[in-house]
């Protein structure tokens, strides 16, 4: 796996540049840990996609993903205010949406009812999806192996859905993302030797959003988005609850806290590995439901038996 080859060089670079997470109140690690694993994941995904992908939007995806990954490296090194990070996310997303045309362009309410979206609707809708997924993955990146494992499962879900529709190009890109996540997990499983950092979590969220939109472009958006939305049901719920919780307490929605689901599981007595596995299991169950709705009935039967 290409990612595995460059994880340790990325770790060395993190210490060289000062992109290091020190042990603290909201962190469960005990040693200073480099947090530029996102560079390794981008390299692994990018190389695989460049070599094997046949999708015409691949170059636009890689360039846009490079922008968000690079911008967030500055956050991993120096720390950036939440507002600036949001600006970074919006800028990279608009690059993909407006310049490279990766956006939702139609809504299908049924086999014979397809509504073409005006750009004034399509662009904001897709932008919300991109920015929302970036923040969702970022918020669950609080336990070793959690975010990378969840994204790998969601990417596998997109891959299976693409196989069902005969979309070879989406299969290749989803497989490349799975490989990047799994290659990184070898070094990120508890106790982690390297963290993905904001560069990694935003890269993963951005790429998931792009892959699902590219897949949607070939099918009915209402149904095509069911798969990633259901697969990400737990992280999405955790994100929405975090926003509501902070607002009810009169705090900024960007203010960090220890109220996320993974924090609650740790407080309940689960180990970091057990916490990650709980998320994996829940993600797989919801993903199975999404695939069943999309036509994989045997997958739903397996989920029910579990």
Look up the domain containing 222 and give its range.
Answer: 2-305
Average pLDDT in the 3-26 region? 89
Q: Which residues pair with 243 in a beta bridge?
A: none
Phi, psi dihedral angles at 113 (to 5 degrees): -125, 90
Q: Characterize 119-140 residue by residue with b for buried, 16 or more Cβ atoms within 10 angstroms of its Cβ, and e for exposed.
A: eeebbebbbebbbbbbbbbbbb
pTM over 0.85? The answer is: yes
Is 7's pLDDT higher than 60?
Answer: yes
Q: Is 35 helix (H, G, I), strand (E, B) or coil?
A: coil
- Give the model's confidence band at 151: pLDDT under 50 very low, under 70 low, under 90 confident, else very high: very high
Q: How far apart are CA 191 and CA 207, in angstroms?
A: 26
Average confidence score pLDDT of the chain: 89
Nearest CA-CA partner of 274 in 157, 181, 143:
143
Long-range pairs, 79-88, Cβ under 8 A, ≥24: 82/252, 82/254, 83/254, 85/198, 86/131, 88/202
What integer pLDDT is reported at residue 104 of this predicted model?
Answer: 86
- Give the model's confidence band at 28: pLDDT under 50 very low, under 70 low, under 90 confident, else very high: low
Question: Based on the structure, what is the number of domains in the chain?
Answer: 1
What integer pLDDT is reported at residue 17 of this predicted model?
Answer: 96
- The per-residue pLDDT for range 79-88, each reduced to its tens digit, is 999 999 999 9
What integer pLDDT is reported at residue 245 of this predicted model?
Answer: 87
What integer pLDDT is reported at residue 285 of this predicted model?
Answer: 92
* CA-CA-CA-CA dihedral for 28, 85, 209, 53, to nearest 10: -90
- The per-residue pLDDT for range 184-236, each reduced to its tens digit, is 999 999 999 999 999 999 999 999 999 999 986 555 455 567 788 889 999 99
Average pLDDT in the 39-46 region? 98
Q: Characterize 214-223 residue by residue with b for buried, 16 or more Cβ atoms within 10 angstroms of its Cβ, and e for exposed.
A: bbbbebbbeb
Total number of residues shown for the chain = 306
Is 110's pLDDT higher than 60?
Answer: no
Phi, psi dihedral angles at 116 (to 5 degrees): -75, 130
Q: Could you check whether the bond before residue 2 is cis, i.e. omega within 30 degrees of 0? A: no
What integer pLDDT is reported at residue 263 of this predicted model?
Answer: 87
């Amino acid at each position: 796996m290409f990612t595995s080859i460059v994880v340790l060089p990325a770790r060395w670079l993190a210490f060289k540049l000062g992109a290091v997470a020190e042990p603290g109140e909201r962190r469960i690690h005990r040693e200073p840990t480099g947090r530029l694993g996102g560079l390794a994941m981008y390299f692994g995904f990018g190389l695989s996609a460049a070599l094997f992908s046949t999708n015409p939007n691949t170059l636009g995806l890689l360039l846009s993903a490079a922008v968000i990954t690079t911008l967030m490296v500055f956050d991993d090194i120096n720390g950036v205010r939440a507002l600036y990070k949001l600006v970074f996310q919006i800028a990279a997303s608009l690059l993909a949406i407006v310049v490279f045309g990766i956006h939702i362009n139609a809504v299908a309410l049924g086999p014979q009812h397809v509504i073409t979206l005006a750009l004034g609707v399509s662009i904001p809708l897709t932008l919300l999806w991109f920015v929302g997924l970036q923040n969702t993955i970022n918020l669950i990146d609080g336990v070793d192996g959690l975010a990378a494992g969840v994204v790998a499962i969601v990417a596998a879900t997109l891959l299976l859905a693409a196989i069902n529709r005969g979309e070879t190009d989406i299969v290749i890109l989803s497989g490349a993302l799975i490989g990047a996540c799994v290659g990184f997990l070898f070094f990120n499983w508890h106790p982690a030797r390297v963290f993905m950092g904001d560069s990694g979590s935003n890269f993963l969220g951005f790429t998931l959003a792009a892959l699902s939109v590219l897949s949607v472009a070939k099918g009915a958006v209402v149904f095509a988005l069911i798969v990633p939305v259901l697969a990400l049901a737990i992280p999405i719920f955790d994100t929405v609850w975090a926003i509501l919780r902070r607002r009810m307490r009169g705090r900024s929605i960007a203010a960090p806290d220890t109220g996320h689901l993974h924090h609650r599981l740790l407080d309940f007595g689960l180990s970091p590995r057990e916490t990650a596995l709980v998320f994996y299991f829940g993600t797989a169950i919801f993903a199975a439901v999404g695939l069943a709705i999309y036509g994989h009935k045997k997958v739903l039967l397996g989920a029910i038996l579990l």
